[in-house]
Every structure is written in structure tokens, then in C-alpha cells.
């Protein structure tokens, strides 16, 4: 499910397609990992699929199948060794060494991200900040200096950065993405509300707050439609009334 993905994405690199880990499973592993860390802190040494599933907010059968994909070692009649499972998942996700991340666009949102302390515990280190505004370059945030965007290639190479976060306005995002790719970045997390086009081999994930709210709005709309007309709704199926021509239409 997920997000933007271009052409034949990484995961099926050549013709002889190999399935390896299902994408849906990959998307859930981080959630399992978070739940496991929480359990470990709470003093658990082992956990059953039922328990972990509850902590991660999923079905236990799904959890077991997900874990079985990574050849996991649970013990029947007992459950999973929490510490071992953490190590396994971190290994699969490539978190055994902390990954360095670049953040481009230190505005409203970028400031919040740069100042966020929660990355360290999840396997990442923000290694560099960039902006195009000369007034912002040189500023220090959380002990990190803001670099001019033109120093991107240099710093990306020096810090061995492979992941970048874009927090610039949408108009600048494509240009920034191009610069990032040129500098050698191969994974991008995009907060700007626009589609990025990147070469094959580069992964893009997008987070758009308004999209999330609009999805919620849809369900909200649905709920209220149901409670307003409690009985005999036509034939038991909610029909979408087509908007009349010109209705709410910005001519």
C-alpha cells in the first residue's frame, strides 16, 4: 500500500522476478519493532504472537505470517524472544548501523523535524540540514548548522548520506529531488504535496497531511450520511449522489 512508486521499483530488480519480502510485510515490520522495544522496556523477555499483535494493532495470524517470511525463530508453546526478534527485524530493515539522513528545507516543518529527538532511538541520525534561503544558512538548530543547498554533493559524500527528507515548498521539491539524486541520494521522504519524478533505483515515499485528513473526511461524510438517514436507505446500499452540473463549481 502504500505510496508513490515509480516504474519497477527496487525489490524486483531484474527480469527473473523474486518476491522476497511482501511489501505489505515490510510496511508493518517497523510497527512490530516499535512494539517490541516497548515490551523490552516494560520487562518482557518473551512475547506470544497474540500479545505482540495486540501491541502492534494487528491480527495475530498476520503477524505470524509476516514473521515467518523472515525465517524467524519463535518457540512453539512459548512465543518469541523479544531481544532476538528485535535484532532480527533491525537486521532485515538494515538498521544494524545507524543511517544518516539529510533534511532539505528548514522552514516551519523542517525546524520541527530537525529538533525532533525521536530519530536516534529508531535508527537514524540527522546528519545535515540544507536550505536555499541565505538568511537561514549558517543558523544552528540542535547543534547542527544549516548548509547552503549548493554544498549538497560535498556534504552527502562526506557523511555517506543515502536518505533525504524534503520539507520545502512544492514548487521547489522537484528541483531539490533532482539535486539530491545527482548527489547520490537513493531514498527520499517527501513532505511537499506534489509528485516527484525520479530515475529507477530511487525510492520515494510521500507524506501528505492533507491527504490523511481528506481520507478521514470521507469516512466522516459516510458516517453522517448513515446516521442522518437511519432507515430504508434506497436498497441497503449507499448511493453516491452525483453533483449536479455546476454545483459548487468555481467557474
Interface residue list for ligand NAD (CB under 6 A): 104-110, 112-113, 116, 118, 130-133, 136, 149, 167-170, 172, 175-176, 191-193, 209
Answer with the entry of DNA, a second copy, ligand NAD, none that 211 interacts with (C-beta below 5 to 8 A by kind).
Answer: a second copy
Number of residues that bind a second copy (CB under 8 A): 98
Q: Would you tell me how many other CB atoms lie within 10 Å of the CB of residue 119?
A: 15
Residue of the chain from 36, 52, 55, 102 that contacts a second copy (CB under 8 A): 55
Place of cell 506534489: 194
106 is in an annotated binding site: yes
- Cα separation, 85 vs 88, whole angstroms: 5
11 is in an annotated binding site: no
Look at residue 89 and give its three-state secondary structure: helix
* Helical spans, DSSP H, in 70-199: 82-92, 108-114, 152-159, 170-183
Give the contact letters, 132-161, x = binds to a second copy (CB under 8 A), - = no: ------------------------------
Q: Would you tell me how many other CB atoms lie within 10 Å of the CB of residue 73?
A: 11
- Cα separation, 101 vs 94, whole angstroms: 14
Residues 113 to 132: which contact a second copy by CB under 8 A?
Answer: 113, 115-116, 118-119, 122-124
Please report how close the Cβ of residue 115 comes to ligand NAD at its closest, in angstroms.
6
Amino acid at each position: 500500500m502504500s505510496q508513490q512508486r515509480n516504474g519497477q521499483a527496487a525489490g524486483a530488480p531484474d527480469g527473473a522476478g523474486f518476491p522476497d519480502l511482501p511489501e505489505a510485510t515490510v510496511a508493518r515490520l517497523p510497527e512490530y519493532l516499535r512494539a517490541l522495544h516497548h515490551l523490552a522496556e516494560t520487562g518482557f523477555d518473551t512475547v506470544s504472537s497474540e500479545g505482540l499483535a495486540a501491541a502492534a494493532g494487528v491480527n495475530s495470524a498476520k503477524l505470524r505470517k509476516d514473521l515467518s517470511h523472515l525465517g524467524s525463530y519463535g518457540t512453539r508453546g512459548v512465543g518469541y524472544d523479544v531481544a532476538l526478534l528485535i535484532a532480527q527485524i533491525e537486521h532485515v530493515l538494515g538498521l544494524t548501523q545507524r543511517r544518516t539522513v539529510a533534511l532539505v528545507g528548514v522552514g516551519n516543518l523542517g525546524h520541527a523535524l530537525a529538533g525532533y529527538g525521536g530519530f536516534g532511538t529508531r535508527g537514524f541520525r540527522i546528519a545535515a540540514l540544507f536550505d536555499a534561503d541565505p538568511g537561514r544558512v549558517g543558523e544552528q538548530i540542535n547543534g547542527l548548522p544549516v548548509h547552503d543547498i549548493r554544498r549538497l554533493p560535498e556534504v552527502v559524500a562526506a557523511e555517506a548520506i543515502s536518505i533525504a527528507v524534503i520539507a520545502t515548498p512544492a514548487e521547489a521539491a522537484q528541483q531539490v529531488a533532482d539535486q539530491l539524486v545527482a548527489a547520490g541520494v537513493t531514498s527520499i521522504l517527501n513532505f511537499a504535496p506534489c509528485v516527484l519524478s525520479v530515475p529507477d533505483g530511487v525510492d520515494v515515499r510521500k507524506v501528505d497531511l492533507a491527504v490523511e485528513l481528506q481520507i478521514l473526511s470521507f469516512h466522516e461524510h459516510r458516517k453522517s450520511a448513515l446516521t442522518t438517514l437511519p432507515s430504508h436507505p434506497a436498497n441497503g446500499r449507499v448511493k453516491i449522489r452525483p453533483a449536479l452540473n455546476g454545483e459548487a463549481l468555481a467557474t
